[in-house]
């Protein structure tokens, strides 16, 4: 019974976290693409190609993630598991595949998005509206939260496997723990504690409030 609840909660957290990642990754890409490309702020062809490529990477990550969930569903069904026993526990394989998919979806946010934020904070923000700057900050943090939720789901399933005596290669456990714990721990301070980012975000918020008050007046 405990096994059922742990694995169910883990899968639900995986699903919620992954959906948050996918939704906000697509929203960031769509919003930025519209502002950079459609409004033609003078960015070169390389920047445009990079943004389009990230959209394709998100789709690939979603497909890989979905394959992982299917494998985990097979592993949780006795009849299907017996038919696929040659996979050597498809549930474990599904766990690893799901994490690869989610990591692929979120990698561009944690790496490329942070580089974009740094450029914005250190003055390379010509052509970007204050609204877009504020939007990038907000969506980046929400995407990070989605990744943390997904990581919790992964860790719950690892605990479940250990309690039930499943055999997981130690290198896989180490890799999962590093990606699920170390990556968010490293990224969090940059997203929340960078003084230049906070100052710029506060400036964008203040200008929005001032603009609204001016309209009312």
Q: Please identify which residue in the block is written with the tokens 């498809």.
A: 90
Q: How confident is the model at residue 48, as a pLDDT?
A: 46
Residue 121 dihedral angles phi and psi, to the nearest 5°: -70, -30
Please indicate, yes or no, if residue 29 is contained in any of the structural domains: yes
User: Which residues constitute the domain of residue 39?
Assistant: 2-209
Asked whether the predicted pLDDT for residue 28 surpasses 60, the reply is: no
Q: How confident is the model at residue 214 (pLDDT cuts 50, 70, 90)?
A: confident
Please indicate, yes or no, if residue 215 is contained in any of the structural domains: no
- Where are the alpha helices (H) located in 109-194, listed in sequence order? 114-121, 130-163, 170-177, 183-193
pTM: 0.38
Question: What is the distance between the alpha carbons of residues 200 and 180, in angstroms, rounded to a whole number?
Answer: 30
Asked whether the predicted pLDDT for residue 1 surpasses 60, the reply is: no
Please indicate, yes or no, if residue 184 is contained in any of the structural domains: yes
Token pair, residue 143, equals: 């995407």
Please indicate, yes or no, if residue 139 is contained in any of the structural domains: yes
Asked whether the predicted pLDDT for residue 46 surpasses 70, the reply is: no
DSSP state of 80: H
Q: How confident is the model at residue 57, as a pLDDT?
A: 55
Name which of 145, 180, 143, 150 is nearest 13 in CA terms. Answer: 150
Please indicate, yes or no, if residue 181 is contained in any of the structural domains: yes
Mean pLDDT of 57-69: 57
Asked whether the predicted pLDDT for residue 80 surpasses 50, the reply is: no
3-class DSSP assignment, residue 88: coil
Mean pLDDT of 56-62: 56
Please indicate, yes or no, if residue 217 is contained in any of the structural domains: no
Higher-pLDDT residue of 46 and 192 is 192
Token pair, residue 42, equals: 């003078």
Residues 137-163: pLDDT tens digits? 666 666 666 666 666 666 666 666 555
| 168 neighbors 160 (Cβ within 8 angstroms) | no
pLDDT over 90, % of the chain = 0
Torsion (CA) 74, 75, 80, 84 in degrees, nearest 10: 100
Residue 169 dihedral angles phi and psi, to the nearest 5°: -55, 135
Q: How confident is the model at residue 33, as a pLDDT?
A: 47
Mean pLDDT of 171-184: 57
Please indicate, yes or no, if residue 214 is contained in any of the structural domains: no
Asked whether the predicted pLDDT for residue 50 surpasses 60, the reply is: no
Question: What is the distance between the alpha carbons of residues 126 and 145, in angstroms, rounded to a whole number?
Answer: 29
The total number of structural domains in the chain stands at 1
Q: How confident is the model at residue 213 (pLDDT cuts 50, 70, 90)?
A: confident
Please indicate, yes or no, if residue 216 is contained in any of the structural domains: no
Mean pLDDT of 182-194: 56
Asked whether the predicted pLDDT for residue 190 surpasses 50, the reply is: yes
């Amino acid at each position: 019974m405990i096994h059922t609840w742990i694995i169910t909660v883990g899968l639900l957290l995986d699903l919620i976290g992954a959906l948050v990642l996918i939704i906000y990754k697509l929203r960031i890409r769509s919003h930025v693409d519209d502002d950079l490309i459609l409004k033609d702020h003078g960015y070169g062809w390389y920047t445009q190609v990079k943004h389009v490529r990230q959209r394709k990477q998100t789709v690939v990550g979603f497909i890989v993630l979905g394959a992982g969930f299917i494998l985990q569903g097979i592993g949780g069904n006795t009849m299907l598991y017996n038919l696929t026993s040659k996979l050597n526990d498809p549930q474990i394989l599904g766990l690893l595949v799901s994490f690869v998919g989610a990591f692929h979806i979120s990698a561009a946010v944690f790496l490329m998005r942070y580089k974009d934020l740094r450029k914005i904070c250190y003055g390379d923000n010509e052509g970007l509206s204050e609204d877009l700057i504020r939007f990038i900050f907000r969506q980046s943090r929400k995407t990070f939260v989605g990744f943390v939720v997904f990581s919790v789901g992964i860790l719950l399933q690892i605990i479940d496997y250990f309690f039930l005596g499943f055999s997981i290669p130690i290198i896989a456990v180490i890799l999962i723990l590093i990606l699920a714990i170390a990556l968010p721990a490293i990224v969090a301070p940059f997203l929340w504690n960078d003084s230049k980012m906070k100052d710029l975000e506060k400036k964008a918020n203040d200008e929005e409030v001032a603009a609204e008050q001016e309209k009312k007046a």
